[in-house]
Every structure is written in C-alpha cells, then in structure tokens.
Amino acid sequence: MCYYTYSDYLKNKYGRKVYKLPVNLPVTCPNRLEGDKGCDFCAEQGTGFEAVKSSVSVTEQLRSARAVIEKKYHAHKFIAYFQNYTNTFLSLDEFERYMTEAARVSDVIELSISTRPDCIREDYLKVLQYIQKVYGLEITVELGLQTVNYHTLRLFHRGHTLAEYIDAVRQIQEYEFEICTHVILNLPGDTDEDAVETAKILSALKIQTVKLHSLYIAKHTRLCEAYENGTITICSKDEYIKRLILFLEFLAPDIAVERLFSRIPKEDSVFSNWGMSWWKLKDEVTDKMKEKDTYQGKNFHYLAGAALKKLKGEEGFGIT
C-alpha cells in the first residue's frame, strides 16, 4: 500500500481485526448554541447522518451495531466510537456515566471520543484515565482541526484557532492517549501549501492517526447557501487528488490514515465526492501514487534539525 492504512494500524496494535461501533450521545456542540449553525459545513444532525437515536442506551447501541458488524466482517473486538457532535461537551458526571457504560460492554477494547480542540480539559481526561485503568481499555481522542490555516478556520466559523488544537494535543499527550485528527483538505481558500503545512504540523506533534475528508455540501448549511449562490466553489477531483497525494508525501510514515474521502448519504447533500463512490476514488489515488512511484512520507525529512544535515562533514562535527 502507498500509505499506512488504519486497518493495518489496528492489526499492528491489536493483532486482530477490530471495528468501530458508532454511539450517538444526547450532546450538542458549544459552536451550535443559541441558534448558531456552528461551522459552515455542519449539518443539523452534525455528522450522525445514519446514527441511531441518542435516546437508545449506549449498551443497546453497541449491541445492535455489533450484530451487524460481526456478521459482515467477522470481527470480535470493538471500539466504542462516540462520533457525533462534541462528546466532551457533557457535564463531567454524564460524561463519566456514558464512558463507563461503554467500557463495561464485553469485547469493547477501546473508547474513541470525538470532540473539539477547545473542549479538552484535565478533569475529563482524568475520567478517561480512571476508566482506562479500571477496565484496561485503550483511549483515543479524535480532534476536529480541519486545517492549520487559522484564517480559513475563522472564515468557516470553526470557533477555535490552531493554538487551541496544539494545546489540546499537549494536554492529551500527558495522559498518553492516542490522538486522531480530522482534516478537510479542500476547504475553499486553502491551498496546496496549507495541506503541506497541515501534514507537517500533525507529524511534528506525533499524533497517531488522521482522518481525511473531502469537503461535502450538506443541505441546510451556511456552506450550502454559499455554494448555491456561487460565493464558493469546490476544487476539481483532480486538484483534490493532487493535494491529497502531496499531503501524504509530507505526512510522517507512522501516522495511520483512516480515510481519504468523506461519506454522506446522497439525500443529505447537494455535493459529495464529485458524484463518485469513495472506493473508486480511493483506487484512483492509489493507482496514481503507484504511477508516480510515490508514497506516504516520501518528503518526510524536514524535522529534527533537518537543516543541520547541510553542515559539511555533519557526522564528524561533534554537534551537541
């Protein structure tokens, strides 16, 4: 493979097939309060387009998702994935209750919690640390960053900047939990240079996984209005693939890549993946990478004092 896939990463980590089971909690997002529509691309239902009702208990959601996944993929160990909205935007008690309930479900070996960079706090991390210790689970925190370009973050009303992301990563790393970061590579206004800088910052911060998204236009969003009145345009498929390959070339080879394209049901969007299926697009990317003889990390040589390599006789200089 031309890039380090998430499925390989899980096999390396657990030595077996492990699948994510989505859990939908009754939670919202600080960016969606008081009638605010949140980030311009955020749909009414967040990212939980096919999610089970949040009134269904965590145990029941995990049980029913397991029944489907186990039959289809023959996996017997699972990650409880709190996907939708901002899962640390619950009271501490509620957060602890839901996390504990998931941790008690048999064959759940990891909790993966999606949240925003400005919703990471020590007391919530301590809850996760306690659960990890008592139930022997792995913990991953998934942070929505989308881009390191703080001008673009402001433009799309993300409600945080790059600094909050770096702060969140540093806090989480103190607990040695794993970090997944969500990135949209083709936000209007961003360039190839922003994609490269995003890859460099994630690599420098030594996160474990990245989830890449191609920008979709969900119905009833600010982005949808802008798209329909022509204020914004979306780059072409070829431009996206070029940028994606560039991103991968600069990404550290040990950061696993969870996906390359977004997924949204057709009925919920006015634009998604240039009208193509994500698996065909994925094949196109890998074919192109093979044709170009390139791979993830090909240009990963910019950290750890890279410029010192230019010193004549570097090895014998006795640099301390």
Tell which residue, 244, 210, 269, has the closest CA to residue 43. Answer: 269
Cα separation, 167 vs 118, in Å, equals: 9
Cα separation, 4 vs 148, in Å, equals: 22
90 binds ligand SF4 (CB under 6 A): no
Q: How far is the CB of 194 from ligand SF4 (least distance, A)?
A: 19
Q: Which stretch binds ligand SF4 (CB under 6 A): 32-40, 65-73, 258-266, 279-287?
A: 32-40
95 binds ligand SF4 (CB under 6 A): no
Q: How far is the CB of 84 from ligand SF4 (least distance, A)?
A: 7
Cα separation, 129 vs 96, in Å, equals: 11
Q: C-alpha 154: how far from its chain's center?
A: 19
144 binds ligand SF4 (CB under 6 A): yes
Among 24, 61, 83, 86, binds ligand SF4 (CB under 6 A): 86
Q: How far is the CB of 170 from ligand SF4 (least distance, A)?
A: 20
195 binds ligand SF4 (CB under 6 A): no
32 binds ligand SF4 (CB under 6 A): yes
232 binds ligand SF4 (CB under 6 A): no
Cα separation, 267 vs 316, in Å, equals: 64
**Cα dihedral angle (170, 173, 175, 178), rounded to 10 degrees?**
140
Q: Which stretch binds ligand SF4 (CB under 6 A): 25-33, 131-139, 213-221, 273-281?
A: 25-33
User: For the range 191-194, what are the long-range contacts, defined as Cβ-Cβ under 8 Å and sequence gap of 24 or more?
Assistant: 192/242, 192/243, 192/246, 194/147, 194/148, 194/149, 194/152
Map residue 174 onto helix, strand or coil.
helix
* 33-62 footprint of ligand SF4 as x/- string (CB under 6 A): -----xx--x---x----------------
Q: How far is the CB of 31 from ligand SF4 (least distance, A)?
A: 4
Residue type, 14: Y
Among 20, 116, 200, 213, binds ligand SF4 (CB under 6 A): 116
Question: Which residues does 22 contact at the CB level (< 8 Å), separation at least 6?
Answer: 48, 51, 52, 61, 65, 81, 83, 84
Size of the site for ligand SF4 (CB under 6 A): 11
Q: How far is the CB of 306 from ligand SF4 (least distance, A)?
A: 34
* Residues forming the site for ligand SF4 (CB under 6 A): 29, 31-32, 38-39, 42, 46, 85-86, 116, 144
